[in-house]
Chain A
Amino acid sequence: MTFAQRTFNLTSFSFILFTSNLFGQIQFSGSSQLKYGESKTGFTYSESLINTHIRLDKFTVWTQFEFSQPPELGFYQDGLRKIRLDYTKGPISLKFGDIYEIWGRGLILNQVDDQSIDFDNGIRGLYFSLDKNNIQWNLLTGYSTLWKSAPTYPGYNNYSHNYETNHSVLGTNIDWIRESFELGFSYLQSREKHTLPSWNFPDTVHVAHRILGGRIAYTAPNFDIFMEYADKQSTGYNELDFSRKGSGFYANITSYFQDWTLSADYIRYRFAHLSPDAFSRWDFVNNYGLVLDFQQPAISNLLHSTPLLGRISHQFDFNNNLGYQLDLTGPGLFGSTLFLHYAASSRTHIWESTVDYSWFKKNNDSWLPFESAEGLPYRERYIEVDGYAFNDKLHYIIAASKTTDITDIFQNLYLEENHTFQYKYQEAITFPTSFSLSLSNGMNIDIKWEYQELLRGTWSYSDSLGIVKYDSLKSDFDSFNYETGVYTKRPKQVNHFFSIGLGKAPTWSVALLFDRVSYDDTFDPYAINTETSFEKFLEQFISLENTWAAIELVYNINSNQRLSLMYGSQKGGLLCSNGVCRIIEPFSDGFKLELTSLF
């Protein structure tokens, strides 16, 4: 950052503080989040985020400053990160700056700034709204620079994004609301400057995206219905001869029968058809005209917040996905609440490979998800009981989940007399539980235990003249010792997450956390000697082989300030937030501090 930029940022911040104090009529509020982490193995971060809101009559200014050297995830930043001026007068409102909006269920526009996975699809520009006589009309214009992590682009790592695209965006949305009925139409266009790896010529191409969609919603006493459809076209310009067409459809029906609720979601996203191998399917660098990052539509599986289920989250492919989910909620035994969930999804087509490893679609678009492994099916069954016992002193959640997920196909080759099929397979049975016991004087004990049996590997199948030659799974957890020449079969990984905490409301809580796997499959670039002194102490009492242990303290300094401190190690792996996933490196032998203040 240059001296001039730094001076500008400091002046801006000082101006905000000065004006807010000077003028009594100006309302000032804000929050700050300070994060610091330091591990003995080299991973260190310091990140400060300061949000401020200044309100004066019809104007509001929102600013977000970030000072990070470096942040936990993402780029170094030192200064103003976000700014927006809002003006509201009667039915009109105007936003100028960093815009985050949602239209419908996100098939066309759903903008988020999710710091936990460093995903930000905001647009810097202008947003106009008119809300009058049951009509809401919005107009959006601006530009956006989006950063993502791309394994197929130089400079890939797990801490900061390496791939940039630029969008110039224009869109409009209109909703007509009449009592319990809603009708809406949206249009969004983006002119994208799409970057290709530097060895390509040209290394930048230009793609125009146009999305047009509509939605309808109706709320009745005993049911709700919502449907949304979006049609997308992408074409090249500036000498790029390219065209891609696609569409997306989402529907939800929720019905109520006395104390029971049945909710059914159906999705059919076919914005792009990429071959099912891991190299092509997730390659948004060398393929263009795919689903836009501004499109973050509804998904057809659960969002889990427990550690072990979160780690095996289904990576949702917004380009091509077909599925449904059914949720039944109602009263269980002894006053508890019962939740039953079933989800099924797959791709819209079955793909076959050829001897030269190219792919072609075998069938027409399907309307229901495939059972066959050739369609990359995902299945999830989940049951949860949530309730209170012992005069409401004990709160419990007991759940069970079974998921099967075929994530990639390597080969699906049909020749005249034989069939060779190879794919990535994952199956897990998980039992998350949580117990919280209230004691006297505001004291409480909190216990969480999660158990998981995980099967993951490459499934290979081959037949010839109708006779099966092999049909077996090679586990990812199998190991081979090159010194002894011994091959050890490990069909499944058994995982445990256990935490026990003691707290006194509303001031403090302390918790011990243990995350244990039967075989360590984590690649830790900083793993030199990651056994903490805390773990050495604990090992006097329990074995901590393949275990990440940590102690966490939360202290509410007052009602506006909260301090949390973690010491120990945390297992890395897949971290998912709102259906978007990212691999996170482990945190070994160190401490993390976080201070959150409201002011």
Chain B
Amino acid sequence: MKKYFAGIVYILAISSLFASNANVEKAPDFKVKLLSGDRISLYELLEEGPVLLDFWATWCGPCKKAMTHQEYFHKAYQDSGFNVLTINQDSPKSLSKVKGYIRSKNYSFKVGIDPNQQISKIFNAVLLPTMILIDKDGTIAWRHQGFIPGDEVAIEDHIKALIRP
């Protein structure tokens, strides 16, 4: 038990140390296949402006709640070059549900498919939803795990901070 809590303290210290450097962490580039069939890389999208990455799955309730707000952010700040790129985590067992869900909601943001969680692994997205806000120079500006109603206020504040000229 003592060893365990010593471990927690150690991990907290290490993660805090790196968390303090989080502002200068560059997002790794990746290519993802979109629902439309096209392929896009993160840095191609970043040329337009900041990007909000959102990892989600059709079986994740909180993810779906968050996506309503992602659609609003995507539309509201698109003129400033901002994009929402959601990365779907459904495995082949439920992949056929993804397009139907997105179409039924009329979402206009880009949806990438990552059925074996390769992209979520490189971004360390261990919980769903995980949101990662990336500045146009590739710097990871902010991260958030989970979603409860009201979180959208904090998300929007961080988006506004990035697109402010």
Interface residues of A (CB under 8 A from B): 17, 27-34, 36, 46, 48, 50-51, 53, 55, 60, 62, 67, 100-102, 104-106, 110-112, 179-180, 219, 224, 226, 252, 254, 256, 259-261, 263, 265, 296-299, 302-305, 327, 329-331, 337, 339, 386, 388, 392, 395, 397, 434, 436-438, 442-444, 446, 503-506, 509, 554, 556, 558-562, 578-579, 595-599
Contacts and interface: CB of A to CB of B under 8 A. Distances in A.
B68 A559 contact: no
A80 to B, nearest CB: 16
Interface residues of B, number: 59
B144 interface: yes
Given A102-B116, A112-B91, A180-B37, A561 B15 contact: yes
23 contacts: A27-B25, A29-B123, A60-B122, A62-B122, A102-B92, A105-B92, A106-B92, A180-B37, A252-B96, A259-B106, A261-B100, A296-B91, A331-B104, A339-B104, A395-B65, A436-B65, A436-B149, A442-B153, A444-B149, A578-B94, A595-B12, A596-B127, A599-B19
Nearest to B105: A337
Name, among A256, A303, A388, the residue most crowded by chain B CB atoms within 10 Å (CB to CB). Answer: A303
A559 B116 contact: no
Given A27-B28, A105-B95, A556-B144, 5 more contacts: A31-B124, A106-B91, A110-B92, A505-B148, A506-B151
Contacts of A112: 91, 116
Interface string B92-121: 111111011101111000000001111001
A442 B150 CA distance: 5
B93 A505 contact: no
A49 to B, nearest CB: 8
The 8 closest A-B pairs by CB, nearest first: A505-B150, A442-B150, A599-B18, A31-B124, A599-B15, A261-B100, A597-B15, A329-B104
B85 to A, nearest CB: 18
Contacts, number: 196
A100 B37 contact: no
A305 B127 CA distance: 15
A296 B11 contact: no
B143 interface: yes
Main secondary structure of the interface of B (DSSP, over half): helix
Nearest to A51: B124
Contact of A31 (B64, B91, B126): B126
A100 B116 contact: yes
Nearest to A107: B92
